[in-house]
Structure 1
Amino acid sequence: MEFIDLTLPSPEENLALDEALLNGCDQETPKEILRFWQPEQYFVVLGYGCHHTADVILDACAQDRISILRRMSGGGTVLQGPGCLNFSLITALSTGPDSRNITQTNHWIMQQHQAVFRSLLSQEVTVEGITDLAINHLKFSGNAQRRGRYAALFHGSFLINFDIAKISKYLQNPKRQPEYRHQRSHQDFLTNVSLNVQAIKNALQLNWGAYAPLSKIPLKEVERLVREKYSNHGWNLRI
């Protein structure tokens, strides 16, 4: 598996790079990649099928110039920003057990990450909802998946030192919630994990065997996707 630790300058570029990496790997003999990135500014990211008018506090975002973008994967709407470690894992659909099944792919990867964080934290970590990681029913990681023909992108975030209070300023409480949330507010539902960022990166690299440097960064494809998609209200605010 190849590896890259790269945060591009803008939110649009960072979302576009995930899509560009998947596009480049989605071939009969797909490469596998692990990427890390850490945003330096706050921005909202809608899941593929999320409604911006239902999920986002639009006036607050406009007042504070918080960008509202849409990713290519499913899952809920999130606030990204400093203190959040993001990973992007691209795997061949032939790699994991029952990998042709989206549910089994979720289960396989979440089991791996559950074990990694149990070891790092020396305490119980549970998989909750569909693809959440939690400690004592407090969520610290959310994830989503996008599947191609030969490869899948599984990406997500870990809350390390995130200002959780900001989430309620920019996001509504979601109408669709996992059962374990019990209608809790963002601040009562989420938690940070007290871990060194580099220790998390090292543990995930070891788990996935991701040590070969990424052979090529698809920057031209990133530019195209930003221009045609991620900077376009027709995509970001389409629903």
Structure 2
Amino acid sequence: MQLLDLTLPTPEENLALDEALLTQAETGNQVVEVLRIWEPTEPLVVIGRASKLHEEVNVEVCQARGIPVLRRSSGGASVVTGSGCLMYAVVLSYQQHPELAALDVCHQFVMGRLKESLAQEVPQIDLQGTCDLTLEGRKFSGNSLRCKRTHLIYHGTLLYDFDLKLIPELLRTPPRMPDYREHRPHESFVTNVPIPREIIRKRLIEAWQPTGEMDAWPRDLTAQLVAEKYTNPKWTSMR
């Protein structure tokens, strides 16, 4: 596995890079596995591939405040990210891990590693719902995945010093909730995990043990996806 610790200048580029890493792995003739770490500098709303934009997002508030709303290529519900929210992505190979073709095994494999690694800092961290990391029943990490023929990408958020007020301001009450949420509003459901950024980064790297850094990341494909999809309003508002 290779490490790519890279935040690009714009939110569109950052979302496109995750998709480009998966596409590059799919189109190559070799097993490719990558751990990417990045962090936005400004607030950003990211909706899931099948999300209904106006059902999940306070679009008018986002527009009034100049906060971008972008659609990612993976599933799951909408999230708010920005400074104080570390983002990660892992591209995994089915050739290396054939058992990950079963989604329940895949969730346990990835989230189990993250939980075990971060729990070295905060033992009370738990895995709840399908793929949420929680602290005392409050969510600090939401995750999603996209599966293709030979590889998958699993990526998510890790709130550590985020302005939590932004979440109820920018997101509506989600149409789908895990049972453990018990219909709580955002204000009493999300939290920051009390682990410094550099320690989270260290634990992510320990969890996946990359053997080197990725130098040849897919620049051209990222730029193509930005132009064709991530700056295209039709993609964001398609539902």
Are 2:117 and 1:93 equivalent residues in the alignment? Answer: no
Contact conserved, 1:88 with 1:153, CA < 8 A, in 2? yes
Q: Does 1:116 align with 2:117?
A: yes
Q: What pairs up with 1:152-163 in 2 under 5 angstroms? A: 152-163=152-163
Rounded to whole Å, the distance in 2 between the matches of 1:151 and 1:89 is: 10
Gapped runs of 5+ residues in structure 1?
none
TM-score, normalised by the number of residues in structure 1: 0.96
Letter in 1 for 2:100: S
SS in 1 for 2:226: helix
Tell me which moved more, 152-161 or 212-221.
Answer: 212-221
Residue matched to 1:79: 80
**1:35: which partner in 2?**
36
Could you tell me how far 1:35 is from its partner in structure 2?
0.6
Q: Secondary structure at the match of 2:184?
A: coil
- Following TM superposition, by how much is the alpha carbon of 1:103 offset from its aligned partner in structure 2, in angstroms? 2.0
> Cα deviations across residues 33-83 of structure 1 (Å, max 9, x unaligned)?
001000001111110100001011121111101111100000110111111
Structure-1 residue corresponding to 2:13:
13
Alignment of 1:37-186 (within 5 A): 37-96=38-97, 98-121=99-122, 123-186=123-186
2:75 is aligned with what amino acid?
G
- 1:28 is displaced (CA, Å) by 5.0
Residues in 2 aligned to 1:200 and 1:211: alpha-carbon distance in whole angstroms: 18
Matched, 1:191 2:191: yes
Q: Output one character per residue of 1:174-225: Cα deviation in whole Å (capped at 9) or x when no partner.
A: 0110001111111100110111211111122122111311031111111100
In 2, the alpha carbon distance for the partners of 1:224 and 1:112 equals 33
Aligned residues: 238
Distance, in Å, in 1 between the alignment partners of 2:102 and 2:29 is 18
Letter matched to residue 9 of structure 2: P
Distance 2:175 2:149 in 1: 32
Secondary structure at 1:119's aligned position in 2?
Answer: coil
Q: Structure 2 unaligned runs (5+)?
A: none
CA positional deviation for 1:94: 2.9
- CA distance in 1 between partners of 2:96 and 2:186 (Å): 35
Residue equivalent to 1:236: 236
Residues in 2 aligned to 1:181 and 1:188: alpha-carbon distance in whole angstroms: 9
What SS does the aligned partner of 1:176 have?
coil
The whole-number CA distance in structure 2 between the counterparts of 1:30 and 1:173 is 40
Residue identity opposite 2:195 in structure 1? L
Q: Write the deviation string for residues 12-42 of structure 1: whole angstroms up to 9, x where unpaired.
A: 0000000011111124532100010000011
Check whether the contact 1:37–1:87 (CA below 8 A) recurs between aligned residues: yes
- Which residue does the alignment assign to 2:216? 216
1:135-193 Cα distance to aligned partner (Å, 9 max, x none): 11111101000111111100001001001111111110101100011111111001101
**Percentage identity across aligned positions?**
34
- Check 1:97–1:133 CA distance in 2 against 1; reply closer, same or farther (3 A cut): farther
Counterpart of 1:142 in structure 2: which amino acid? G
Deviates more, 1:25-34 or 1:176-185: 25-34
Paired with 2:96 and 2:154, the residues of 1 have a C-alpha distance of 13
TM-score (ref. length: structure 2):
0.96
2:31·2:95 contact (CA, 8 Å) conserved in 1? no
Return the letter of the residue paired with 2:164.
Answer: I
Q: 3-state DSSP class of the match of 1:164? A: coil
CA distance in 1, matches of 2:210, 2:103: 22
Kept in 2, the 8 Å contact 1:96–1:108? The answer is: no
Distance 2:176 2:82 in 1: 23
Equivalent residues of 1:97, 1:105 under 8 A apart:
no
Q: Secondary structure at the match of 1:157?
A: strand
